[in-house]
Structure 1
Amino acid sequence: MAESPLVWWRRQGLRFRLTAAAAAVLALALALSAAVLVTVLERALMDTVDESTRAQAQTVRVAADAGTLTSPITTHDGTIVQVIDERGRITHVTYGADRLVPLLDAGARARVLKSGQATLMDGRPYAVPGFLRVVVLSADHGQTVVAARPISEIQTSLATAGRVLLVGTPALVVLLAVASWLMIGRTLHPIAALRRGAAEITHTARSRRLPVPQSRDEVHALALTLNDMLARLEEAEQRQRALVSDAAHELRSPLASIRLQLEVALGHPDGQDWQETAEGVLEDTMRLSRLAEDLLALARLDERGGVPARREPVDLDEVVRQTVDRYAEARLTVCDPVVVRGDALDLSRVLTNLMDNAVRHTSSKVEVTLTADGVLTVTDDGPGIPEQDRERVFNRFTRLDSGRSRDEGGAGLGLAIVRETVRAHGGTVVLEDAEPGLRAVVRLPAAG
């Protein structure tokens, strides 16, 4: 079954389709222009002939009205003139004109007089080659002046112009098609280079980038955008690899501890304190559970692309009160009513992670404040964090030496979850010196 023209057209390359479309549009435009040109040229030449013929007829009519006509009538542009009296007889003519048969019969003369326009007639029956433009004017005493002008030269000029256009138009179309083919090919060359560059990028050459053309055009912008995308993908892949590596490292310690405790207990069952063994295994299992929850939270944040799971009004002051009530060491000093848009569970997790971190390092107390402008602070009086490390602790699996030495320390994901979640809600989080201790400051935009 033969494919339809539309399917065939779509199967062609972009270069061919652009060239064919440009050539077709130019051919149509040139054809219309040629038709308009010939029509306008013909109309202009005919108007010129009609005006000249009418002027000669007017001159003869004036002489006929004055009775000063001579025979033969003299004209200087080859106009043929006949003067016909009221009985239809030819009384005066130009040299070489027919003296017996009028160019137009009585009925035709009446129609031309009524219309006031020149008419076209075949001059061959009157021994005049080609066609004539004929003008009829009415004179005194029932006389009629008939003036005619051959237009063979005009027809020859129009035919010559038509032949030139008939030959020149296809030549221009072919010339434009060739020029378009070459120009489109050069324009698409950077895109072909991008395609080849993309084909060369594999899993073993992730750091390669696509070639960027020198021209500051759309292809240049496309290449830059694609390179930025490749950079983001490479960064995301590196982060994913690092996350998997760090997660495997963190999982190895509690699993090794569980295995060791169980092997020792099974190897010496009689002298083993099974209560102590169970407590140790439970502690390591809780560490695994917390790590799995943190990894799942980060995976969900990455999957949503920095967008909260829900965007609904949340009474942040209620979330703060409910969370602080679970900590005996915490004291809520200021809690103004604040409504933000986001996910209540994610915001509760942010405060829980900050509270866990503060309670783990505080010496005596933890103070929490929430002001009406959406600023939440969690302050402890512990050892604090050196200024040069306050930004680094927000990275995933980052723990300072002091944190690593504490058995109750986390996997280094709590503050990373806090920052990712706060950013998803359009806010910021920073760590400040509380002198003594550390202050975590979260700023969230209040709902309008």
Structure 2
Amino acid sequence: MSSARTDRWSLRRLPFRARLTLAFAGLMILLFGGLALLLHARFEAGLDQSINRSLRTHAGDLAPLVRGHQQLPAPAATDGAFAQVLDPGSGQVRVATPGYAKSLLTAAELRRATRGAHFIDTPHARLLAEPVATAPPAVLVVGASLAQRNGALTTLSELLFIGGPALLILTCLIGYGLMDRALAPVKTMSERAASICGAPDGARLPVPEAHDELRRLGETMNDMLCRLDDALARERAFVADAGHELRTPLAILKLELEFALSTDSTREELQERLRSVAEEVDRLNRLAQDLLVIARAEQGRLPLEKRWIDVEP
């Protein structure tokens, strides 16, 4: 369980492009594997059908000779083909291609051949056995070597084994290049976003021309930058207004304190100056409270107290 979690976390830590490439490679492996199996199966089926047609043709050519002659000369072997004429009762070979004097059929296969034509596969050949209506009855067996067929399948398997991975690597490289090109606008927007912090107000991200997800992402980011610019402008205006509002009471405080320190004032005059200073301090306190309320309102955190009031007409 922990190993599976570790594998998932390790995959999540990979860059997006690497994860996408791995997913693409996995999909291509499944696709190429399925196509290779399908191609191999179709090629094998085509070879088998060709061999079966050749055996039926060969049997059709030899059957009239078996029916017309009791002592049929042995047919010549051509392209790995061979034939036998068997006695259905004893299984003895009446006539055969040179090198095939021994019966190719077992007793069970011979009994089955007397009831109708059927194919028989051996490790090195494919046989077609069928009964021939003649006097005395006979069973005709024609066969073809599977060496060429097996060699062709082996060659195809080797080509798929060598060419499949090479084609997979080439396809993954092409896919990686296409992904790199598709993600180029994201890289451009990322670099532009990193440089906007030092750029003048109004800088925006480049938006692709295609109306796709990347364009919507760029437009969303630009809308966010617009809101940030507006918030920054309000903050600057707020700071400017706060500085302007604070300047007057601070100037009055400084003037009152300098006047009190620079002259030999009476007790009454000092008290008057201190009262003026206290008033300015109260003014600064109220101003600070007002600025705090404004700041909270700008941030949307100002609590509202709702209550009913009577309004006289």
Q: Does the pair score TM above 0.5?
A: yes
Distance in 1 between residues matched to 2:161 and 2:58, nearest whole Å: 36
Normalization by structure 2: what TM-score?
A: 0.71
**Cα offset for 1:174?**
3.2
Percent identity over the alignment is 28
| Correspondence for 1:49 | 51
Q: Matches of residues 11-160 of structure 1 in structure 2 within 5 Å? A: 13-54=15-56, 57=59, 67-68=67-68, 71-72=72-73, 78=81, 80-93=83-96, 95-96=97-98, 98=100, 100-110=101-111, 118-122=119-123, 131-138=124-131, 143-160=138-155
How far, CA to CA, are the matches of 1:60 and 1:251 in structure 2? 120
**Aligned-partner SS, 1:201:** helix
Indicate if the aligned counterparts of 1:61 and 1:138 stay in contact, CA closer than 8 A. Answer: no
Deviation at 1:37, TM superposition (A): 1.0
Query: Post-superposition shift, 1:115?
Result: 11
RMSD after superposition: 4.4
Aligned-residue offset at 1:33:
1.2
Q: Which amino acid aligns with 2:92?
A: R
Quick one: structure 1 residues 104 and 301, their matched pair in 2 at CA, closer, same or farther if it must change by over 3 Å?
farther
How far is the alpha carbon of 1:260 from its aligned partner?
5.5
Cα drift, residue 171 of structure 1: 3.3
Q: Does the Cα contact within 8 Å between 1:261 and 1:281 map onto a contact in 2?
A: yes
Q: Verify the 8 A CA contact 1:57 1:81 in the aligned structure 2.
A: no
Preserved contact between residue 83 and residue 91 of structure 1 (Cα < 8 Å): yes
Structure 2 stretches of 5 or more lacking a match? 1-5
User: Counterparts of 1:218-233 in structure 2 under 5 Å?
Assistant: 218-233=213-228
Name the aligned partner's letter for residue 171 of structure 2. Answer: L
Q: Distance in 2 between matches of 1:332 and 1:114?
A: 117
Q: Which one-letter code corresponds to 1:118 in the other structure?
A: F
Aligned to 2:233: 238
User: Which has more strand, going by share of residues?
Assistant: 1
Alignment length (residue pairs):
301
Structure 1 match to 2:3: none
Q: Is contact 1:9-1:17 (8 Å) kept? A: yes
The answer for the alignment partner of 1:370 in structure 2 is: none
- The whole-number CA distance in structure 2 between the counterparts of 1:255 and 1:9 is 61
Which residue number in structure 2 is paired with residue 320 of structure 1?
308
Q: What is the distance in 1 between the residues matched to 2:44 and 2:230? A: 72
Paired residue type of 1:202: C
Aligned partner (choices 155, 171, 188) of residue 183 of structure 2? 188
CA contact (8 A) 1:81 1:97 kept: no
Residues 82, 97 of structure 1: 8 Å contact kept: no
Q: TM-score, normalised by structure 1?
A: 0.53
> Structure 1: 5+ residue runs without aligned partners?
123-130, 325-330, 334-448
